[in-house]
Structure 1
Amino acid sequence: MGDTQALDVARLGAQGDGVADTASGPVFVPFALPGERVQADVRGERGRLIAIMTASPDRIAPVCRHFTHCGGCAVQHIRMPAYLAWKREMVVAAFAARGIDAPIAHVASVGLGARRRAAFSARRTGRGVVLGFHEAKGVDIVDVQECPVTASAIVRALPGLRRLAEPLMSRRAPGRVVVTLAANGLDVAIEDVPGDPPPEVREFLAREAAALKLARLTISGDTLYQATVPAVRFGTANVVLPARSFLQAAPAAEAEMVRLVTQAVGEARRVVDLFCGMGTITFPLAQRAPVLAVDGDKQAVAALQSAAKRTPGLKPIEAKLRDLFREPLSARELLGFDAAVFDPPRAGAATQAALLAESSVKTIAAVSCNPATLARDARILLDGGYKLERVTPIDQFLYSPHIEAVAVFRR
């Protein structure tokens, strides 16, 4: 047992915990809100909420029965204005840490049911297979019956997904069931499966996949069942979805990113799209200008190239396979481009940003899922002579501590 204390919560931390300042340092209390006085069991810098003595006027009832037990969401219990202010402050703080007084816009947020991709964990237990997300503060899997942030088509499929997972899961280690709502159906990938399923199990899975009307079912990367080729729409292009490929989680957030980037690029005559993936931004850009699209993912680049050949009415797209972490585009290679877009993984693109800072590109639009690395890359560009025009936070992962952003730079 820890020490039971009455704490006054001052603010929300980066992970959504309430933070109380005490004589021995900050104490982080999950599910407590700023302005609340709470009773908590304190162990070091962590506190377990026992009771709310004085509730915040921003406290509301959560939208999901699993909240506080399931670790998928951190902050369903706060009114939307306070929630969005917290999300925006994360971006403000990240830029401030790099000495940047950034023009941060209001947060663009998605609604309930917006998420088209969910990565569930699954494990066999004495009561059958559990399928869901890990506990908020534990290692067990919460067997979810609902998920208000996820697309209803995925939630409706949960019972069938359990049937698919049942013959594949072990008690020793959890597997993963990744579900994507493509434009033409559900694409299900089951990963971390022990061994190769025997023929009778494969036949059972194919029957279940057909009964669920899945577009595709893959097991450890191998296609076991396919009724149609899963595809997504980027601009006017219909792009075939490779197995294990990256896709923005919420179409509404993706659309806002594309809008902000295309607006920033404007009437540029030639654009380079760095870390282009399957062409999320490439295809909308190519409706206006020729695009060089570069990425290190072989499957993604192949999907982009194939879709470009099939899509009429676009300006020329040149797709290039290249690891931009090991071999970023040089300032010389960037000659002739009016605008550049980069959308790297969470680690950011410091080396590529440094070479962009040496270039003559007039406009840069940076898309990021990590405000800290975005701010670091922004510092590099600013030191290279660019001006930061605006930063727009995008709340793609509703009720989570994650925040995306689009930043626009001009020279």
Structure 2
Amino acid sequence: MNDTIQIDHLGIKADGIGRDSIGTTVYVPFTLPGERVRVARDGARGQLQEVLQASAERREAPCPHYGACGGCDLQHVSDTFYRDFKRDTVVEAFRRVGLEPNVEPLVGCAPATRRRAVFSATRAGPRVLLGFHAALSQRIVALQRCLVVLPEIEAALPMLRRIAERVVPRKGEARLTVTSSGTGLDIAIEGGAPANERLRRDLVTEALGSGLARLSLGGEILVEAGKPMILAGDIPIALPPGAFVQAVASAEAEMARHALDHFGGLKAVADLFCGVGTFSFRLARRHATHAVESDAAALSVLQAATRSASGLKPLTVERRDLFRRPVTAKELGRFDGVLFDPPRAGAEAQCRQLAESTVRRVAAVSCNPLTLARDARILVDGGYELLSVTPIDQFLWSHHVEAVALFARRG
């Protein structure tokens, strides 16, 4: 069913929200406030067919896959609208929990800077499709270009398709996590066809011929011409296969700068959900640091890097599931500052312990404004002052936004 919709505002996931002629709410991706659009209706969802009256904030999207690929949903907006939308997303998340902090302007990132991407691949008859999912769909959009990733990752798309053709199972999908490191590309394949000697041989030949740093399949390292390395500050870290790293190096540096400035003059700090040590090593240049993480592989590389690093303050590590067993208020008593950088679910249990602790300063890094705001409410209710929140962009042209929130204990 076709319908004409007047778009009123954007939702938190960048869908245009409007109403039809009888007042029913309709969600229409790739639209802007004030626009009249013709859509193909499927219940409350509308697929954009034509913009009848365009917003002055609309611009031509630069990517040929825009509108099909679900990776970017805000390429059609002006730079000013884009920055304001991401900042307002953070403002609204905090408003919902009754907080009105000082929210700084968005710290932006440039195109072609993303160093880590997860591609999906599946079979469509005789073809193998490699790319990203369409919005709200299991359909994969086959990519020829990607304007957000580093040039070396975009240039690798033909090679990634060749790998996908070998590993995609008859049914289902394979995922290829690609990370650009200082020694070359690291590719970790999950969900692929069962490995056999022929598949291993073909993949090794492709990896060596393409100059990959490493290729792994289902956790098994097939080729490691050189350990994939990144810098945490100025400390080199050897990444485990498929390891999580912040998507954009400049965004990571900006997050770290905010935390380091906030912790000035403190003696001992804890880095919770520390991963491979993204922030731990930067902190340990200035403070005695205790790094806590549940992932054994991440802690292993952190410890290895610590042994070879010089000029650090004491850096200790602990393996611990902070969702099930947060660091208690009593244990936190030996730290002046705490940084936490949890997954999207946030750090609710840990924040309840922080709220009861004597920790003087807290820096929260988050990829989810909603859970960050929830956690901030817990800390504020527990006696902390929320000093500032800084939105940081590292998922260019998408509705996703990172943020760093800084807290100081009152009194």
For residue 214 of structure 1, report the CA deviation from its aligned partner. Answer: 0.3
Matched to 1:8, the amino acid is Q
Paired residue for 1:9? Answer: 7
What is the alpha-carbon distance in structure 2 between the residues aligned to residue 337 and residue 169 of structure 1?
A: 48
Matched to 2:275, the amino acid is G
Contact 1:165–1:190 (Cα < 8 Å) also in 2:
no
Pairs within 5 Å for 1:189-200: 189-196=188-195, 198-200=196-198
For residue 137 of structure 1, report the CA deviation from its aligned partner. Answer: 4.9
Matched to 1:172, the amino acid is K
Report SS of the residue matched to 2:245: coil
What is the alpha-carbon distance in structure 2 between the residues aligned to residue 250 and residue 81 of structure 1?
A: 21
Paired residue for 1:294? Answer: 292
- Between 99-108 and 34-43, the greater mean CA deviation after superposition: 34-43
What is the alpha-carbon distance in structure 1 between the residues aligned to residue 305 and residue 158 of structure 2?
A: 34
Report SS of the residue matched to 2:404: strand
Paired residue for 1:224? Answer: 222
Matched to 1:115, the amino acid is R
What is the alpha-carbon distance in structure 2 between the residues aligned to residue 319 and residue 137 of structure 1?
A: 40
Identity fraction in percent: 46
Paired residue for 1:333? Answer: 331
Matched to 1:104, the amino acid is V
Q: Deviations 1:185-222 (Å, cap 9, x if unpaired)?
A: 100011101222x2222122111101110000001110
Are 2:25 and 1:36 equivalent residues in the alignment? Answer: no
Contact 1:365–1:408 (Cα < 8 Å) also in 2:
yes
Paired residue for 1:319? Answer: 317
Report SS of the residue matched to 1:301: helix
Q: Deviations 1:87-138 (Å, cap 9, x if unpaired)?
A: 1111111111101112111111211011111111112334432211122353
Contact 2:276–2:302 (Cα < 8 Å) also in 1:
yes
Pairs within 5 Å for 1:92-107: 92-107=91-106
Matched to 1:294, the amino acid is V
Query: Of 391, 400, 403, which residue of structure 2 is paired with 1:402?
Result: 400
Contact 1:87–1:403 (Cα < 8 Å) also in 2:
yes
What is the alpha-carbon distance in structure 2 between the residues aligned to residue 368 and residue 304 of structure 1?
A: 21
Report SS of the residue matched to 1:109: coil
Contact 1:183–1:232 (Cα < 8 Å) also in 2:
yes
Q: For residues 19 and 110 of structure 1, do their structure 2 counterparts lie closer, same or farther at Cα, with a shift above 3 Å needed?
A: same
Matched to 1:297, the amino acid is D
Report SS of the residue matched to 2:187: strand
Paired residue for 2:48? Answer: 49
What is the alpha-carbon distance in structure 1 between the residues aligned to residue 199 and residue 301 of structure 2?
A: 31
What is the alpha-carbon distance in structure 2 between the residues aligned to residue 336 and residue 171 of structure 1?
A: 54
Contact 1:121–1:175 (Cα < 8 Å) also in 2:
yes
Paired residue for 2:61? Answer: 62
Pairs within 5 Å for 1:57-96: 57-96=56-95
Contact 2:181–2:228 (Cα < 8 Å) also in 1:
yes
What is the alpha-carbon distance in structure 2 between the residues aligned to residue 168 and residue 296 of structure 1?
A: 30
Q: Deviations 1:203-258 (Å, cap 9, x if unpaired)?
A: 22111101110000001110011100111100121111011321111111111111
What is the alpha-carbon distance in structure 2 between the residues aligned to residue 49 and residue 72 of structure 1?
A: 17
What is the alpha-carbon distance in structure 2 between the residues aligned to residue 41 and residue 246 of structure 1?
A: 39
Any unmatched runs of 5+ in structure 1?
none
Report SS of the residue matched to 1:334: helix
Query: Of 352, 374, 378, which residue of structure 2 is paired with 1:354?
Result: 352
Matched to 2:252, the amino acid is E
Report SS of the residue matched to 1:259: helix
What is the alpha-carbon distance in structure 1 between the residues aligned to residue 18 and residue 143 of structure 2?
A: 31
Paired residue for 2:183? Answer: 184
- Between 366-375 and 167-176, the greater mean CA deviation after superposition: 167-176
Paired residue for 2:150? Answer: 151
Contact 1:125–1:171 (Cα < 8 Å) also in 2:
no
Matched to 1:152, the amino acid is P
Paired residue for 1:364? Answer: 362
Pairs within 5 Å for 1:150-299: 150-196=149-195, 198-299=196-297
Contact 2:233–2:253 (Cα < 8 Å) also in 1:
no
Are 2:405 and 1:384 equivalent residues in the alignment? Answer: no
Paired residue for 2:18? Answer: 20
Report SS of the residue matched to 1:397: coil
What is the alpha-carbon distance in structure 2 between the residues aligned to residue 51 and residue 327 of structure 1?
A: 52
Matched to 2:260, the amino acid is T
State the TM-score, normalizing by the size of structure 2. Answer: 0.96
* Count of residue pairs the alignment pairs up: 408
Matched to 1:179, the amino acid is V
Report SS of the residue matched to 2:37: strand
Paired residue for 2:140? Answer: 141
Contact 1:130–1:143 (Cα < 8 Å) also in 2:
yes
- Between 6-15 and 341-350, the greater mean CA deviation after superposition: 6-15
For residue 6 of structure 1, report the CA deviation from its aligned partner. Answer: 2.3
